[in-house]
């Protein structure tokens, strides 16, 4: 009786730990990370300006501005997926995504979608570079042989998207204003040379 109870308890705990957070699917059947944030203290124009500053300056290595309107921002970016074996880690690929932000007075919403994975390989100089230019949509199901690795890539992409979302929300919530130092006019003397 003890063993049966132990087996049932261990099977239940394994099922509980096996469930991981994962992407939801959008209207078009693609993975999406979607969030609506209430920000009553900040108006629409300030949210728009902070979002543009986030894309263009703060996160400029991973994101590129595609377009903007008076109430929305479109950008594309990439997330680097790391693979760790014991202690040593290296990038195994990148996930490209599209970013969209829409603002209103008192709230905003953003989402990341169109996730596509590009695997990395080590080149002759020891750097990790893209092994192909053809990307695989993240929602594509893989065969039994690569299913475990593909699930790990999807889970890592989800974790990176959540981390990105948290840093984006924190950036929009804080009052970080860009103050450019005016350049003092340089005095040029033509008398001495």
Number of domains composing the chain: 1
Which has the closest alpha carbon to 117: 132, 102, 99? 132
Per-residue confidence (pLDDT) for residue 112, from 0 to 100: 92
Distance, in Å, from the CA atom of 133 to the CA atom of 93, rounded to the nearest integer, reads 12
Contact in structure between 117 and 153 (CB atoms under 8 Å)? yes
CATH number for the domain spanning 26: value is: 3.30.530.80
Regarding pTM above 0.95, the answer is no
Contact in structure between 92 and 113 (CB atoms under 8 Å)? no
Residue 132 lies in a domain: yes
Question: Strand runs (DSSP E) across the chain, as ranges?
Answer: 24-25, 31-38, 63-68, 72-85, 88-104, 107-122, 128-130, 136-137
pLDDT along the chain (193 residues), means of 10: 52 48 82 87 84 85 87 90 76 90 88 91 87 85 82 90 91 68 67 70
Residue 119 lies in a domain: yes
Per-residue confidence (pLDDT) for residue 163, from 0 to 100: 92
Longest CA span, the chain? 102
Per-residue confidence (pLDDT) for residue 43, from 0 to 100: 82
Per-residue confidence (pLDDT) for residue 181, from 0 to 100: 55
- Domain of residue 41: give its range: 20-173
Residue 6 lies in a domain: no
Residue 12 lies in a domain: no
Instruction: Tell me which residue has tokens 């003397």.
Output: 189
Which has the closest alpha carbon to 22: 135, 148, 139? 139
Residue 77 lies in a domain: yes
Residue 11 lies in a domain: no
Residue 118 lies in a domain: yes
Residue 9 lies in a domain: no
Q: Is 14 left (phi over 0), alpha (psi -120 to 50) or beta?
A: alpha
Paired residues of 72 in beta bridges: 102
Its sign, for the CA torsion 168, 170, 174, 180, is negative
């Amino acid at each position: 009786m003890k063993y049966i109870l132990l087996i049932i308890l261990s099977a239940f705990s394994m099922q509980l730990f096996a469930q991981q957070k994962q992407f939801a699917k959008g209207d078009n059947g693609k993975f999406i990370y979607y969030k609506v944030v209430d920000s009553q203290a900040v108006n629409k124009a300030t949210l728009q300006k902070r979002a543009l500053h986030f894309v263009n300056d703060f996160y400029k290595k991973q994101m590129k501005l595609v377009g903007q309107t008076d109430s929305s921002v479109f950008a594309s970016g990439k997330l680097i997926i790391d693979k760790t074996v014991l202690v040593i880690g290296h990038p195994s690929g990148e996930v490209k995504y599209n970013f969209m932000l829409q603002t209103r007075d008192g709230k905003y919403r953003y989402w990341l979608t169109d996730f596509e994975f590009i695997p990395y390989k080590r080149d002759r100089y020891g750097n990790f570079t893209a092994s192909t230019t053809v990307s695989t949509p993240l929602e594509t199901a893989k065969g039994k042989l690569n299913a475990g690795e593909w699930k790990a890539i999807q889970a890592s992409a989800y974790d990176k998207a959540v981390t990105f979302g948290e840093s984006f929300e924190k950036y929009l919530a804080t009052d970080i204003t860009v103050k450019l130092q005016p350049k003092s006019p340089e005095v040029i003397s033509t008398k001495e040379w």
